[in-house]
Amino acid sequence: MLRLRTMSTFRGACSRRVDPSPDRRTPGHILPQVWRCVDGPTEGGPREDPRVSAPTRPPAPAWGVVVPAGGRGSRLGGVDKPALDLGGRGLLEHLLDGLPAGVPVALVGPPRPLALEVDRPVLRCREEPPGGGPAAALAAGVATLLAGAVPAARGDGLAQDGLDVVVVLPGDAPHAAAAVPALLSALSRSPGAEAAVAVDAGGRRQVLVAAHRAGALAGRVAELGREQGLAGLPAARLLPPADRLVEVAVDADLLADVDSPGDLERLEHLHRLRRARGAGPA
């Protein structure tokens, strides 16, 4: 399994270096290269190890986004987490505003007002049954994206029919969209991989921050649905086997979500810091 340690925003600059350390999860497997992206441009432009030549940029994939946004927030008294206020706007609105214009989004969850809906194609759907859990939400979102009459967005800003990649982002992680370029880059540079998933500083997979090849994910959804149904299953059940999975280390600030009042306080502090340094939408 290839692991890429990466941090990025849409303004990120990337470099590559040789890393001789073995992968701790697969003893004896040597990592041939590590991609590292930083949050924002670096002084003097991108840094690159002179020992390694820059790669050829692959064609940009057509991609859309599934946003599971139906969590009940039981530890927050049943509040609608994606609608929680952060700097005068909902967490979900911050997330969507971090995506390029024109990217199709399948929003999975109960009906809710959305100020940004007019600015981007948003397809609404519900998991079956309602409240059926993350795997059921992903299945509903994938089906909606693949059936939706919206062109998929390309990384180069053009539009085309069809969908190569499905990106998954949680509705209560307002800065997670900044991890998308790193996920797409990792997947495009790993032709044998079916998905790229974010990992935190402790090496834990954040399965709701991921990029999947659309056909492979649709196949896993169909197979698991036939075998046992998707209700109540975790989203991790829709990840491919380890030898077809790329892990991408993402900065904790981009993965921050809300599961407790303390999490919301930390997000508010982070939001103030990001506004002060001009990183991301206000």
Per-domain residue ranges of the chain: 62-176+207-244
CA distance 144 to 124: 8
Q: Is the pLDDT of residue 227 over 70?
A: yes
Residue given tokens 């409240």 in the structure block: 131
Give 30's strand partners.
Answer: 22
Q: Is the pLDDT of residue 142 over 70?
A: yes
More confidently predicted of 3 and 168: 168
Q: Which pLDDT score is estimated for 197?
A: 98
Confidence at 225, pLDDT banded by 50, 70, 90: very high
Give 22's strand partners.
Answer: 30
Rounded mean pLDDT, 187-205 = 96
SS3 of residue 154 by DSSP: strand
Instruction: Tell me what percent of the residues of the chain surpass a pLDDT of 90.
Output: 44
Q: Is the pLDDT of residue 60 over 90?
A: no
Q: Is the pLDDT of residue 54 over 90?
A: no
Q: Is the pLDDT of residue 179 over 90?
A: yes
Q: Residue 264 is encoded by which pair of tokens?
A: 């919301």
Q: Which pLDDT score is estimated for 14?
A: 39
Q: Please give the DSSP secondary-structure letter assigned to residue 61.
A: P
Q: Which pLDDT score is estimated for 127?
A: 92
Rounded mean pLDDT, 125-149 = 90
Confidence at 137, pLDDT banded by 50, 70, 90: very high
Q: Are 125 and 116 in contact (CB under 8 A)?
A: no
Q: Is the pLDDT of residue 149 over 50?
A: no
> Long-range contacts made by residues 154-162, C-beta under 8 angstroms, separation at least 24?
154/60, 154/61, 154/62, 154/63, 155/60, 155/61, 155/63, 155/181, 155/184, 156/60, 157/100, 157/102, 158/60, 159/102, 160/62, 162/62
H-helix or E-strand spanning residue 274: helix 261-277
Least confident of 35-39, 126-130, 222-226, 228-232: 35-39
Number of residues in the chain: 282
Rounded mean pLDDT, 174-201 = 96
Q: Is the pLDDT of residue 157 over 80?
A: no
Confidence at 136, pLDDT banded by 50, 70, 90: very high
Q: Are 55 and 189 in contact (CB under 8 A)?
A: yes
Rounded mean pLDDT, 49-76 = 65
Q: Other CB atoms closer than 10 Å to residue 21's CB: what's the count? A: 8
Instruction: Tell me what percent of the residues of the chain surpass a pLDDT of 70.
Output: 67
Average pLDDT, the chain: 76
| pTM greater than the 0.75 cutoff | no
Q: Is the pLDDT of residue 174 over 90?
A: yes
Least confident of 92-96, 129-133, 153-157, 191-195: 153-157
Domain 62-176+207-244, architecture per CATH: Alpha-Beta Complex (3.90)
Rounded mean pLDDT, 262-281 = 78
DSSP string, 235-247: GGGGSPPGGGEEE
What dihedral do alpha carbons 210, 133, 231, 136 form, nearest 10°?
A: -40
